[in-house]
């Protein structure tokens, strides 16, 4: 059983309990359920430089506790002020130390920044939860869903005005799961068996993702040079958690990265 199998097994238990505790009809009555959503795909497409999706990540299976002393509203508002094109907030508690409360606090502090509910989506019910939390985007991980499940969940997400980020780890997952119902394709550089990260994964898959999908590189991103190389290969979004969260001031770490990015793309005359 790899880590994803363990997380998904736990998620099935949690979703079953949540459906009883808070029926879908209750979620639909939440004031946030009918809010106008924001488009992360448009924000990334329209940007003339690499778009950073900054993650609020307290802990992870690969690193344990990354930052035990942070407030989601402070960190994410700092991210938005430093130019994040999107925010990713983990709502999984057991493995990542996240919570619905983290997401809600971040949402309230960032009314104009597109927000991804970062969790392991296996059931339509979770899309209703995401909508009621104030999410704009949901994640579908190809490694834990059949291609039919990806399609069905993505269709339902669109009905709810949520955008869909499909996450793949290799060419096989990409071929099997990519469908017109997704908006963005995220290539996760983290090998879930070894936890090692390699941006070569993003580089290898870049040309295989059709240009109509916004391309996002995820995990293990640390420096502006690498991000600019991937930008030149067609990636528009870059999902970064640990690099920011392990510092005492995650927003300042994003600000510093943005400065490096703009310096490099100006030097290279890469503004699009
Ligand atoms: O981060 C982990 O250890 C992890 C383990 C198992 C499944 C998923 C995991 N991470 C989820 C992510 O996608 C990352 O949080 C995200 O891409 C940011 O990565 P990083 O910049 O390396 O924190």
Domain 38-267 has CATH 3.20.20.70: yes
Instruction: Report the predicted TM-score, pTM, of the whole model to 2 decimal places.
Output: 0.97
Query: Quick one: pLDDT at residue 270?
Result: 59
Query: Quick one: pLDDT at residue 272?
Result: 53
Q: Where does the chain show beta strands of DSSP type E?
A: 51-56, 59-60, 64-65, 86-90, 115-118, 137-141, 163-168, 184-188, 214-218, 237-240
Packing angle, helices 147-159 and 124-133, rounded to 10: 40
Tens place of pLDDT per residue across the chain (272 aa): 889 999 999 999 999 999 999 999 999 999 999 999 999 999 999 998 999 999 999 999 999 999 988 999 999 999 999 999 999 999 999 999 999 999 999 999 999 999 999 999 999 999 999 999 999 999 999 999 999 999 999 999 999 999 999 999 999 999 999 999 999 999 999 988 888 999 999 999 999 999 999 999 999 999 999 999 999 999 999 999 999 999 999 999 999 999 999 999 989 875 55
Instruction: Name the residue ranges covered by the structural domains of the chain.
Output: 38-267
| Other residues' Cβ atoms within 10 Å of the Cβ of residue 88 | 26
Q: No. of H helices and E strands in the chain?
A: 12, 10
On whether the CB atoms of residues 102 and 56 are closer than 8 A, the answer is yes
Q: Residues 169, 167, 225, 195: what is their CA dihedral angle, to the nearest 10 degrees? A: -50
64 alpha carbon to ligand 1 midpoint, in Å?
11
Reference 200, options 170, 232, 175; nearest CA is 170
User: What residue's CA is closest to ligand 1, atom 10?
Assistant: 60
- Ligand 1 in contact with 131 (CB < 6 A)? no
Query: Quick one: pLDDT at residue 193?
Result: 80
Query: Quick one: pLDDT at residue 1?
Result: 81
Please provide the DSSP assignment of 36-89 as one string: PP--HHHHHHH-SSPEEEEEE-SEETTTEES-SS--HHHHHHHHHHTT-SEEEE
Largest CA distance in the chain: 57
Q: Give the separation between CA 50 and CA 238, rounded to whole angstroms.
A: 7
Query: Quick one: pLDDT at residue 192?
Result: 82
- Ligand 1 in contact with 3 (CB < 6 A)? yes
**Per-residue pLDDT tens for 10-41?**
999 999 999 999 999 999 999 999 999 999 99
Sort strands 59-60 and 64-65 into parallel, antiparallel or unpaired. antiparallel
Query: Quick one: pLDDT at residue 114?
Result: 98
The ligand 1 atom at the shortest distance from the C-alpha of residue 189 is: 17
On whether the CB atoms of residues 202 and 168 are closer than 8 A, the answer is no
Query: Quick one: pLDDT at residue 271?
Result: 56
Query: Quick one: pLDDT at residue 2?
Result: 86
Structure tokens at 183: 């908006």
The ligand 1 atom at the shortest distance from the C-alpha of residue 244 is: 21
DSSP state of 190: B
On whether the CB atoms of residues 138 and 108 are closer than 8 A, the answer is no
Query: Quick one: pLDDT at residue 59?
Result: 97
Ligand 1 pocket test: which of 92, 241, 247 has the largest number of ligand atoms within 8 Å of its C-beta? 241
219 alpha carbon to ligand 1 midpoint, in Å?
6
Sign of CA dihedral 211, 214, 217, 223: positive
Q: Give the separation between CA 207 and CA 243, rounded to whole angstroms.
A: 26
Considering just the CA atoms, what is the radius of gyration of the chain in Å? 17
């Amino acid at each position: 059983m790899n880590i994803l199998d363990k997380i998904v097994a736990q998620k099935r238990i949690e979703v079953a309990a949540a459906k009883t505790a808070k029926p879908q009809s209750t979620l639909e009555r939440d004031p946030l359920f009918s809010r106008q959503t924001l488009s992360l795909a448009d924000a990334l497409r329209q940007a003339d430089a690499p778009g950073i999706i900054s993650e609020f990540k307290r802990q992870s299976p690969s690193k344990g506790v990354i930052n035990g002393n942070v407030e989601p509203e402070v960190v994410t508002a700092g991210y938005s002020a430093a130019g994040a094109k999107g925010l990713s907030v983990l709502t999984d508690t057991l493995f990542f130390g996240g919570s619905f409360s983290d997401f809600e606090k971040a949402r309230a502090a960032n009314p104009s920044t597109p927000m991804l509910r970062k969790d392991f989506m296996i059931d339509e019910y979770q899309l209703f939860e995401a909508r009621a939390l104030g999410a704009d985007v949901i994640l579908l991980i190809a490694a834990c869903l059949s291609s039919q499940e990806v399609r069905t969940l993505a269709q339902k997400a669109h009905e709810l005005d949520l955008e869909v980020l499909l996450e793949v780890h290799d060419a096989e997952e990409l071929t099997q799961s990519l469908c017109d119902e997704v908006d963005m394709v995220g290539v996760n550089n983290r090998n879930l068996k070894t936890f090692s990260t390699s941006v070569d994964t993003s580089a290898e898959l870049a040309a295989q993702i059709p240009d109509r999908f916004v391309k996002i590189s995820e995990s293990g991103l640390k420096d502006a040079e690498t991000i600019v190389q991937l930008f030149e290969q067609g990636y528009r979004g870059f999902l970064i958690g640990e690099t920011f969260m392990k510092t005492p001031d995650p927003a300042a770490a994003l600000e510093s990265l943005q400065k490096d990015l703009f310096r490099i793309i100006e030097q290279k005359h890469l503004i699009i």
